[in-house]
Structure formats: C-alpha cells, structure tokens
Amino acid sequence: MTEPILVDRLTWREFKSVERLLDRPGIRLAFLSGVLEIRKMPGRQHEIIKKRIAALIETYLEMKGFDFTPTGSMTLESEAESVKREADESYELYRDRDRPDLAVEVVVTSGGIDKLEAYKRLQIPEVWIWQTGELALFALTDSGYESIDNSRLLPGLDMELFDRCLNLENHAIALREFRQAIA
C-alpha cells in the first residue's frame, strides 16, 4: 500500500468541495485542521486484521451480554472542530449515542494525520490502534488520550487472551479458542 497524499492549508469549505469531487470507490478521505489525507482503500492484510479484531470484540460483547451496536466505518465529522475521520471499526456500547464509544484503527502504512487528535476532537472515549503486530489501547482523558493496558469500556476483557487470539494464523481456531476461554 502506498503512503497517503496530504494536502494542507484547506478550509473546511474547500475540503467539502474536494470531498464531493473525490467521492468514488477505492478512495478514503480524512481531514484535520486544514490537512486533507487521501488514501487508497485498504488491502488484504488490513482487512484480515480489521475483521479479526471486530470478530473478537463482537464475540466478547455478545457473550458478556452487552447491548451494543456495531457502527463499522461510519463517517464522523465536526466542522466546528475541523475534523473528519472514518474508523476501520466502531461500536456504540450504550443506547442513543451520537458517536461511537470505541473506535478501532488498523495501520498498515505510516504517515497521515494524527488519528488520536482527530478522535479527541470527536470525543471518542476509547481508541484501539493496531500497528506492526501490536494492539495499543487509548482512553480519552481531560488532557487527551493516555495509553492503557486494559480497556476501560470492557474492563473484564483479558487483553493477553485477545492478543494471542488476534495473532493466531487460523481465523476459525482463533474465534473458537477465544469463545472457549471467556465462556
């Protein structure tokens, strides 16, 4: 996958015009403080990891009785905060929410806008970022995101088990092992 294209010094209005022009399959846009990020849609590795993370999260939420709504890669934006972002996966863990409680990002290439700053402006309580084989968790505080070892939204989730199952080669075996361990 190639590095993103960054275009800076755009107003929100200019960004929205470019967004309409580039609204086509295969392109994903993000925006933060005047910087437009243009990326090609993710490839196979990205999609496999994203789907594994989602399957594990949804298995946990369902088995632990959460009343959750998967919101996928819904567009999140705020003109007032000068930000637009689409998570790879996202979840509402409580009813009647305007924004997801949890956003998941899978990073296969480097560069681009500051994802945590974008999510901070969007007030997403927890963000999980997978990059180079590692899953990092971040919780929103008054001063921004802080790195955490365990999810605050899912406090009973065994992150060592999650990581082990995330990194198994076979998807079906990973889900079975995870399900058996949390039953």
Kindly indicate the confidence band of residue 41, based on its pLDDT and cuts at 50, 70 and 90: confident
Question: What is the per-residue pLDDT across 135-175, written as a single tens digit (0 to 9) for each?
Answer: 999 999 999 999 999 999 999 999 999 999 999 999 999 99
**Helix, strand and coil in the chain, % to nearest 5:** 30, 30, 40
Amino acid at 89: E
Which residue bears the tokens 């929205």? 16
The percentage of the chain sitting over the pLDDT mark of 90, rounded to a whole number, equals 89
Quote the pLDDT of residue 31.
97
Question: What is the per-residue pLDDT across 93-118, written as a single tens digit (0 to 9) for each?
Answer: 988 888 999 999 999 887 899 999 99
Walk me through the domains of the chain, giving residue ranges and CATH numbers: 43-182 (3.90.1570.20)
Question: What is the per-residue pLDDT across 50-80, written as a single tens digit (0 to 9) for each?
Answer: 999 999 999 999 999 999 999 999 999 999 9
More reliable by pLDDT, 24 or 83: 83
The answer to whether residues 29 and 14 touch, using CB atoms and an 8 Å cutoff, is: no
**What are the strands, taking DSSP E only, across 79-181?**
83-86, 89-92, 102-107, 126-131, 134-141, 144-148
Q: Does 1 have pLDDT greater than 70?
A: no
Q: Does 2 have pLDDT greater than 80?
A: no
Please tell me what DSSP assigns to residue 157: -
